[in-house]
Amino acid sequence: MAKILIVEARFYDHLNDMLLAGARAAIEQAGHAHETITVPGALEIPGAIALAAESGAYDAFVALGVVIRGETYHFEIVAGESARGIMALSMDGLAIGNGILTTENEAQAIARADRAQLDKGGGAANAALAMLALKGRFG
């Protein structure tokens, strides 16, 4: 049984609740254990994963959060840099599923977060588990 760390940037509680429900259900359905930590925002997710990875306590990671486009350039920075950080950690050999939603509006975020619709939280958890399986195969 693997131990998965879910790292969430809780900014939109109702959206994060949906993402978390999907991720937790997918991990539990696969028979693995999980723990959840919360960070201030999506930019902090890669750093938190890096710190947790150093502990050796987790086999894989799920990044969850929601970034909705606003009126400033901040959206591009948060969306791009959080994805870049997660990709860098993945290239270093960590098994990570990226479930940080980057949407134009709340309706798009709801459709992606809702388990009855696109279930991106569950998808991110399944991606982390698939990467963990690959790591086991090649590592």
Domain segments of the chain as ranges: 3-12+21-72+85-125
* Catalytic residue annotation: 74
Q: Report, as an integer, the average pLDDT of 100-120.
A: 98
Ligand-binding site membership of 36 (annotated): no
Buried b (16+ CB within 10 A) or exposed e, 57-94: ebbbbbbbbbbbeeeeeebeebbeebbebbeebbeeeb
User: Which tokens in the block code for residue 85?
Assistant: 């950080």
**For residue 70, what pLDDT is reported?**
87
Q: Are 64 and 9 in contact (CB under 8 A)?
A: yes
Residue 121 reports pLDDT greater than 80: yes
- C-alpha 51/C-alpha 15 separation (Å) is 25
- C-alpha 114/C-alpha 4 separation (Å) is 21
Residue 139 reports pLDDT greater than 80: no
User: Which tokens in the block code for residue 94?
Assistant: 């960590």
- C-alpha 111/C-alpha 75 separation (Å) is 19
Ligand-binding site membership of 66 (annotated): yes
Q: Report, as an integer, the average pLDDT of 88-106.
A: 98
Alpha carbon 66 to its chain centroid, in Å, reads: 10
| Residue % of the chain over a pLDDT of 70 | 100
Ligand-binding site membership of 72 (annotated): yes
The hierarchical CATH code for the domain 3-12+21-72+85-125 is 3.40.50.960
> How do residues 38-93 score in pLDDT, each as one tens digit?
999 999 999 999 999 999 999 999 999 999 998 888 899 999 999 999 999 999 99
Tell me the whole-structure pTM to 2 decimals: 0.97
Ligand-binding site membership of 54 (annotated): no
